[in-house]
Structure 1
């Protein structure tokens, strides 16, 4: 029996790598598939523990990648452009490696994370069918609904808001055209066009896009016809035994997990400050602040009588043991709260987090507040504790279990290998 050779290309960022690997993990047990993972050396060990064969990318650019990925503050138009410009240099390094590798050892199909552009660009050049995995499902442009990255636009309530969103969608296209023009010289090698004949974005697969999330929460409509929802997969792939936090001494407390993910280094001081303010008012709660330093030795420090600061906690193992969660609105923790039915207070910081926050608010599964507004955070936290009815959260938690991601993934792989040109 001939094996299907699958090459997976993902940047070594938790919010992108973890969902894709969790989606693919069941295929490791199927002898029909031979999978290679192209990612940064930072995640080589943990991916190999899952069973993936890892081929490192950007081995000589680790420091440069970390500088590009971890901003010193919240992005604005100028810093976002600079980040994209710097990213292109790294993208081209990865592309060089992929071209050489795939000319010598060509895969049957490529699976690329939605911001890991090299995988799709090179696959398209070499006429290899490819699939986009999309952990931020609403990042793609659609024909209707709130555009993302505009500070969290929700469902339009008035005609004026509908017009605002229409302008936002048009503005998004214009902005992308301007950036593409400015970077045209560095994109020339790919014969890059921003949109295809169907007026769809070419940075995503024209054959298959797998949205790693839940359709029930989405506010946008008009997705491409080859866009499929496969359910939520945001849990950590690190081993829980490497991060041993004994929660038994806190049985008499309401346990609160506090996190701002792994990328927002500039936000951690404020996170600790806001947690301390809440802890002073709520001595019946114990707050566990995770700093997001995965892959390092586990550390735990008691900042206050009811505040513990830990270097890292895997969400999948520890969120079920919590009563509530305070987080930044990252895709992984957003969906883990849904899966395990934990009410959340979302303090969005950057990127797509405002968009997740408004989806959580509209779905009735979370509250939200500005990240530095201590009074608003206090009021929202009080409401979080006082609310009794979380039936919408329970309903979505049940819905999350119904998705059949492995079956959808296998079906798409075989469909593309059989009729790529359709």
Structure 2
């Protein structure tokens, strides 16, 4: 299969599913594709009609334990560093296995999810072009503007806000340099000489092409590295395969019938951190009691082997049902969405022009929420609402009620971003960039149309 495009991602839906969407589009163009991930991802890869390569060195239980820690990471440097240290051994094993496989069977291009940066130095050793896929463009480091990973900052208002942003950017970059300094030896063995290149871009991301799988219009004002190409969101859900990767097929939302039919709201909480999911299940029981004219579908991002709450742990209210996963192409059948700020569900709600209530938990989710709030696309609630008992349920119920009756301004904003999503199919855009790269030896990186300088 030499000369193929190799797509690499961890098995988690928010990372794997966009990669699968790109793979399906490439395969439709008769471009040979192979998707590399762990054993847990294999059924989904094959359900997409793609060739799977299973990483024997990447244990699914270990990777899940790293991504789904007992305690939240948040903005706590010690916890962030502890999680990073845990990934180094896994990345080293993956690097060696990729290297061994590429010797007899080198791809023409490697497209790796941003969480697996070891693919880059490995590809360079074999003369293979390396692209980074970034499902959440907010996570790309910046040298100006409002930085990410600082709790979901909104754009500054006046000089004090600009000083705040400068201090936050300096803190983020200092932390990243410190992490490299504390782990210099294993990182150099992985092929990295520092946290940043001479031009200020991050070594963890490709200097050739960084596929930003989102909308440039959604991002906050800032400059972008020259390699960034905004190609649009990739909205892809693998077909359900009962007994394979999901215990049950995805349930379709109930069709309303008649003027007395309840509103229907999707609650999609596919975040890591199982304790937060359990709190949501408990809170939703109270919320449903406060909203007798609303029916809820609850998706916890479940797949086979997940330890997230199952249907037998669902709220007792009959107007709440648990579904294994939500088909992102069918969100127009809901009146509103409550979600955790994951890039995938956020972009799917925009594509369906559905008002949202966002409860970010960790990682880049507060930054996604900040962008939705800034463009008047959603209301944000602090995740403490899930731990506030009856008072928290009342706040969440009130927010759901507001989402079901959005203002004229919010409706207009939602329609504007729905149209932007329709114009920017990320799978098509990414495949265009990759296909162009296959026919030329020159780098295809560059500023995307509309990216702000």
Q: Give the TM-score band, short-chain normalised.
A: over 0.9
Stretch deviating more after TM superposition (149-158 or 372-381): 372-381
CA distance in 2, matches of 1:15, 1:290: 14
Structure 2 residue 270 is matched with structure 1 residue 257? no
Q: Is the 8 A contact 2:21 2:234 kept in 1?
A: yes
- SS state of the match for residue 304, structure 1? coil
Structure 2 residue 397 is matched with structure 1 residue 391? no
Structure 1 residues 123 and 244: alpha-carbon distance in aligned structure 2, compared to 1, 3 A threshold: closer
Cα deviation 1:250-272 (Å, max 9, x = unaligned) = 54110111121152312012212
CA distance in 1, matches of 2:226, 2:286: 48
Cα deviation 1:200-253 (Å, max 9, x = unaligned) = 111111111110000111004210122111111143224288525354475411
Match of 1:274 in 2: 283
Structure 1 residues 201 and 377: alpha-carbon distance in aligned structure 2, compared to 1, 3 A threshold: same
Cα deviation 1:331-369 (Å, max 9, x = unaligned) = 110001001111110011101111111111111111111
CA distance in 2, matches of 1:249, 1:192: 53
- What count of residue pairs does the alignment treat as equivalent? 420
Q: Is the 8 A contact 1:279 1:306 kept in 2?
A: no
Structure 1 residues 130 and 118: alpha-carbon distance in aligned structure 2, compared to 1, 3 A threshold: same
CA distance in 2, matches of 1:396, 1:36: 33
Match of 1:56 in 2: 54
The alpha carbon displacement at 1:105 in A equals 1.2
Pairwise CA RMSD of aligned residues? Answer: 2.4
The alpha carbon displacement at 1:93 in A equals 0.6
CA distance in 1, matches of 2:329, 2:340: 19
Match of 1:95 in 2: 95
Structure 1 residues 221 and 60: alpha-carbon distance in aligned structure 2, compared to 1, 3 A threshold: closer
Match of 1:213 in 2: 214
- SS state of the match for residue 326, structure 1? strand
Cα deviation 1:73-131 (Å, max 9, x = unaligned) = 21132222111111111100100001111112111111111111221231123331111
CA distance in 2, matches of 1:124, 1:420: 14
The alpha carbon displacement at 1:296 in A equals 6.6
Structure 1 residues 39 and 408: alpha-carbon distance in aligned structure 2, compared to 1, 3 A threshold: closer
Match of 2:451 in 1: none
Where do 5+ consecutive residues of structure 1 fail to align?
A: none
- SS state of the match for residue 261, structure 1? coil
CA distance in 2, matches of 1:140, 1:119: 18
CA distance in 2, matches of 1:290, 1:24: 25
Q: Is the 8 A contact 1:138 1:220 kept in 2?
A: no
Aligned ranges 1:163-202 → 2 under 5 Å:
163-193=163-193, 194-202=195-203
Q: Which has the higher contact order (CA 8 A, sep 6+)?
A: 2
Aligned ranges 1:314-353 → 2 under 5 Å:
314-353=326-365
- SS state of the match for residue 382, structure 1? helix
CA distance in 2, matches of 1:366, 1:135: 20
Q: Is the 8 A contact 2:113 2:133 kept in 1?
A: yes
Match of 2:379 among 339, 350, 367: 367
Where do 5+ consecutive residues of structure 2 fail to align?
A: 243-247, 386-391, 446-453
- SS state of the match for residue 310, structure 1? strand
Aligned ranges 1:3-402 → 2 under 5 Å:
4-31=3-30, 33-58=31-56, 61-75=59-73, 76-193=76-193, 194-239=195-240, 242-245=248-251, 247-248=253-254, 251=257, 252-295=261-304, 300=311, 303-373=315-385, 374=392, 375-389=394-408, 390-402=411-423
Stretch deviating more after TM superposition (223-232 or 310-319): 310-319
CA distance in 1, matches of 2:298, 2:107: 42
CA distance in 1, matches of 2:9, 2:290: 43
Stretch deviating more after TM superposition (370-379 or 351-360): 370-379
Stretch deviating more after TM superposition (183-192 or 363-372): 183-192
Q: Is the 8 A contact 1:10 1:112 kept in 2?
A: yes
Q: Is the 8 A contact 1:11 1:17 kept in 2?
A: yes
What is the TM-score normalised by the length of structure 1? 0.93
- SS state of the match for residue 372, structure 1? helix
Structure 1 residues 413 and 150: alpha-carbon distance in aligned structure 2, compared to 1, 3 A threshold: same
Q: Is the 8 A contact 1:121 1:203 kept in 2?
A: no
- SS state of the match for residue 78, structure 1? helix
Cα deviation 1:390-421 (Å, max 9, x = unaligned) = 11001100111112542553334434741149
